[in-house]
Every structure is written in structure tokens, then in C-alpha cells.
Amino acid sequence: MEILSPTTTYLTLATTLLTLLAFLLYQPTTLVRWLQKKNYQYEVTFALYMLTPTEKFVFNSILFLTTSLLALAITLYLPNHVITISRRGYYYFAGEAEAVAGAAATTLTENLSLAAAGGGGAGQDWGWSG
């Protein structure tokens, strides 16, 4: 048997990992204790300690599916939604639609300075008395 064969390498790696796992289970470190405590808090908070393993699996699967779908929706759709809302907010404030974000920021800055000076924004008189 060759020393550097893939089988020997995988066997050595598996043995090392099992030894490390056994050591951590019998000599818990602060990280392992913290993880055990968090698992205990999770089971007590959601009353999972009184469920059978099958019921725990079903509950955790539904929770994982819901959480992952929510995270996916947030990462895919929230940035576009925030951009759309900010563009609408700019349109409501400035009164004109800008295709370029840089021009929109420049116009917004000009409108704010005009409003602070007492003039109307985007060439409009708002009727404010200052």
C-alpha cells in the first residue's frame, strides 16, 4: 500500500477528525459549551425538548425553509425595491424624473439649497412664506 494514496489520506483524515470530535465531546471547550447552551435555549424557547425526533425534524425543516426563502427574497428583491422607493421619493420631492443617478443627486442638492435659501425647487414656487 502506497503511503500517499488517496485511500490512506482519507483514512488518516477521517481518523483525525473522529479523534478530535471525541476529544471535544469529552473535554468541552468554551465554544462547545456555548453551542450546547444555545441549542438548549433554542429547544426550550420553542418547546422542542418535548417533541419526538421526527417532529423536531419536521419543525426544523419548516423553519429552515421559511428562513432561507426569506433570506433569498431579501437578497434578490430588496435592493431593487429600495432603489425604486428612493427614485419615487426623489420624484415626489423634486417633481421630475431623472434617468441618471448622478444628475438626480446634483438636482436634489440644488433643490435643497434653493429650499434653504427660500426659493422654490426645480423652478417651482411652492408658496411657502419664509
Domain contains 122: no
Domain contains 104: yes
Question: Whole-prediction pTM value?
Answer: 0.46
Domain contains 64: yes
pLDDT at 14: 93
Mean pLDDT in each 10-residue stretch from start to end of the chain (130 residues)?
73 91 80 89 92 94 96 92 90 71 62 68 52
- Which domain covers residue 67, as residue numbers? 52-116
- DSSP per residue over 73-130, as a string? HHHHHHHHHHHHHHHHHHHHHHSS--SSHHHHHHHHHHHHHHHHHTPPGGG-------
Domain contains 128: no
pLDDT at 74: 93
Look at the chain and report how many structural domains it folds into.
Answer: 2
pLDDT at 130: 47
Residues 100 and 56 both lie in one domain = yes
Domain contains 9: yes
pLDDT at 42: 93
pLDDT at 105: 61
